[in-house]
Chains A and B, each alone.
Chain A
């Protein structure tokens, strides 16, 4: 398990990185936290000829709030999401989600940009981006491109990024007064990729939902929004309604099968998550003073 030989370049600017990318094309890989790329290289699943290390690029760092947008740089490490007060205040979903990503050693190195660009269908952060309706900012030689999260994830390890672009940052609408977040996943062990998971943001008023975005992961080739959530908008929520919606949601899915779970098990777990998520959001909405 040794990677094949490769060249390595540590770039000094975004411009430099993009130049290297277009020079080397398919042969190059951007290196961010290395927590997905390096294991794959050691297993010789990928053998890039050159690694372009973007670790020095200050432009890709930082967490900041600008009016009603929270901007997080691509190089932000998982551990920084976990400890950031801005994230806790404006996107508590992320603070919750990151606890489920791997273990401290990996969280100390892995980055937001790497996770999103890698686009593992079982990863937590892509689903959070979808739930939070994030905008992903890509940088190419022609300038910036703003891509909605719903368009960004296109399949297993596939995104809307072009080969000569890099992911620079994400922008998230900040949490509003009556908004509540919920994150839960079923994983075999702490830190494992989930068998099924949900990341959700809702606006709760009068015991019901005025907004509800539930993004599920590990149950399709990319994170997906539950269409069935629409059944719960602006109506009085009853247990029967939740049960109906969760069954309807199960029927939306055609989950993949792997060693950890069959397709039907994933569907079942997703339905359970759907119900638990809705119940928890409502309970939190009440707790946080959403009249009810």
Chain B
């Protein structure tokens, strides 16, 4: 591990004897999950609980003429059949726009369709019964009379005058447009020796969480309170929005989030069917469970990507990149999602293209259009894979054109590691990145020269292998600049409360959430380290709006950087409070004491002075023995939000080594490397597995995953047999290396690591495929890179 220069000057509260920071320690929740004692929403059974099944539109766009539920209502076990119109009396509609995304527009969306459906899978009626199976039986008996309308499916023609406007009140199908121009772009292209262009196409895909979206909503009319059990990444956001649309005060809504089986951004949004479930509970005054099945998941979990991006790059013969230009188009379904909006991905593409490079001249346009397909929104690494594939694809094309090695052109143009702080052409501010150090380390890890030699040798025997490299930047630790400034009630700060209990153990409540990435582990590691207690002594509570401080949750690679710093600061205060009491008890001076091994010790000779359990006993049960005037505070709460930088950018570089069979179009991934810089590493294994998991999702996009719609807006592969997720058999070994440049915005110094893997994986693969196919003179710029795509590009079909 290369430890960047500034690390040494920064001995902090984390550099303590027996520190857990930087150590791979097992996660506290592992045994519970491995022994099958996790508690997922579908495990929850409440008295009088009923199950809802949503009847979903088979059409992409249709008028609802009539709904006849009379036969269905007589089916066994049926409690109620509720239409969109009936439910609208309980819950108000919403519009997914934010004010900082200028001129973003969308139409009011209801919990269930009222008189028109806008995508295949939109709910039109709710069937509530005593079991899911009975509700499905009854659902088959509900007769819905539809009048099909023309579906807008192709984003490339969505803005044509001939194309119907999905929401006439909006005037056209353009949801959002962003233009960016640094100025002097034409001149910069003129100054280039070569200008290269390409169009990059990204398939629509989705997150495919192992546990589907699930909710149990329990309206207790006696208490006037709604308890929502939900696998969500952002409990306080759900609390705020459920309250707002059900006409309740936030205090009347409690969101409980126990174990979550994967999220990846899928579970950070407000879905119409989940809102409908809350409303049904209120309407029917009983607990209602909704667990999406796999077909529903494919039809209603947010989709992502689906961009067509034209790119252009100018390069001088000496390798200097003079300018970038992009024109990006994406279709987002019929509504902008609530509350984060569906304009963010395109916005990120504009923000991030060219980001790793010194090139100053950049012009961009992004257009976001409505279509009659499932809604699209933020999924792991929002916008990054697109920006990265376009940028890195263009850089490789430029290198090929001028006959320069792909590593060389990157060395020539990546921002120098001593150039910080600086900003990107779109004004993103970089505190401290390490592109050059990462690239140097990558080249060494992969033995770049050796692979090039191997590649050349194998080509002589008609084996076509390729190397692809992709540098990237990643947005992490977002401040209010992401959502808050646009009016969204999505907290960018997080809070942690720590307290010493009566036996000297520690209870820690945090507002970040756990979906498998290790939030619980890293919180315990930080608190245990700062306090000086064993990790087993720290119990972390999260995912409950009644029982944690207010905060954002876990998304946008923010949990460790923001929630972790709040934990650190809270633990520091508690430590000070403990030492104050200890000094009073021991008639010593707090500065001469420390905590280590669950006891207060002498700071100098480390001699134990008093066990924390003994200190706690005195504080809680014999406060009468303390000196007068001492009021111990063995609980401390701190909040944190980054203020100086809107985002803590991280960076890294990935490489792919693969083989293409030009006869069959099949690609075999042989190896993948990532070097990344997420600042302070709290738990190396958790970081590495975040990177690997992220890479695998990126490789899924590169080779396999695509939601295939036909021209009538029907999703034709909404099942796990036809929608191909990446599986272990096809995955290469993934080697992960690190460069560490801690952020100075926090004492912890951690930036995020959750999305870096996904950001650059597809780009590396596309570049490697084109490198492998170099001798054939073909260029492939469309993912997923299916055998069909490769063979078509090679002209073999």
Name A residues whose Cβ lies closer than 8 Å to a Cβ of B.
Answer: 1-5, 43-44, 186, 188-193, 195, 259-262, 264-265, 268-269, 272
Contacts and interface: CB of A to CB of B under 8 A. Distances in A.
Contacts of A188: 704, 724, 786-787
Nearest to A195: B787
A261 B704 CA distance: 13
A2 B132 contact: yes
Q: Which of B132, B140, B665 has the largest number of chain A CB atoms within 10 A?
A: B665
A191 B132 contact: no
Contacts of A265: 665, 787-788, 791, 797
A1 B299 CA distance: 14
A191 B708 CA distance: 21
Given A4-B137, A5-B133, A261-B787, A186 B724 contact: no
Given A1-B294, A262-B797, A269 B133 contact: no
Given A259-B716, A268-B796, A189 B295 contact: no
Closest 10 CB pairs of A and B: A190-B729, A2-B133, A1-B293, A264-B797, A272-B663, A189-B727, A2-B136, A259-B708, A265-B788, A189-B730
B536 interface: no
8 contacts: A3-B133, A44-B140, A186-B664, A189-B729, A259-B716, A261-B788, A265-B665, A265-B791
A3 B294 CA distance: 14
Contacts of B146: none
Given A43-B295, A262-B788, A5 B797 contact: no
Given A189-B724, A261-B787, A262-B788, A5 B729 contact: no
Contacts, number: 62
B712 to A, nearest CB: 15
Contacts of A189: 704, 724, 727, 729-730
Contacts of B724: 188-189, 192
Please classify the interface of chain A as helix (H, G, I), strand (E, B), loop, or mixed, using the class held by over half of its residues: loop
A269 B133 CA distance: 43
B645 interface: no
Nearest to A275: B663
Given A191-B727, A192-B724, A259-B716, 17 more contacts: A1-B293, A2-B132, A3-B133, A5-B133, A5-B137, A43-B719, A44-B136, A186-B787, A188-B704, A190-B727, A190-B730, A264-B797, A265-B787, A265-B788, A265-B797, A268-B791, A272-B664
Contacts of B295: 1, 43
B717 interface: yes
Contacts of B665: 265
Interface in B642-679: 663-666
B722 interface: yes
Interface residues of B, number: 29
Contacts of A5: 133, 137
A190 B704 CA distance: 13
A262 B665 CA distance: 13
B664 A269 contact: yes
A44 B724 CA distance: 22
B421 to A, nearest CB: 45
A168 B293 CA distance: 36
Nearest to A3: B133
Nearest to B136: A2
Q: Which of A2, A190, A191, A261 has the largest number of chain B CB atoms within 10 A?
A: A2
B720 to A, nearest CB: 10
Interface string B773-797: 0000000000000111001000011
A22 B451 CA distance: 66
A43 B663 CA distance: 37
A191 to B, nearest CB: 7
Contacts of B730: 189-190
B716 to A, nearest CB: 6
A268 B133 contact: no
Interface in B717-738: 717, 719, 721-722, 724, 727, 729-730
Given A259-B717, A262-B797, A186 B666 contact: yes
Nearest to A191: B729
A46 B788 CA distance: 32
Contacts of B132: 2
Nearest to B133: A2
A192 B796 CA distance: 24
A77 B717 CA distance: 29
Interface string B239-269: 0000000000000000000000000000000
Contacts of B140: 44
A43 B796 CA distance: 37
Nearest to A2: B133
A54 B629 CA distance: 82
A260 B786 CA distance: 8
Contacts of A186: 664, 666, 787
Nearest to A276: B663
A3 B132 CA distance: 10
A265 B664 CA distance: 9
A169 B664 CA distance: 36
Interface in B106-151: 132-133, 136-137, 140
A2 B132 CA distance: 7
B722 A259 contact: yes
A253 B520 CA distance: 58
Contacts of A262: 788, 797
A30 to B, nearest CB: 22
Q: Which of B132, B295, B663 has the largest number of chain A CB atoms within 10 A?
A: B663
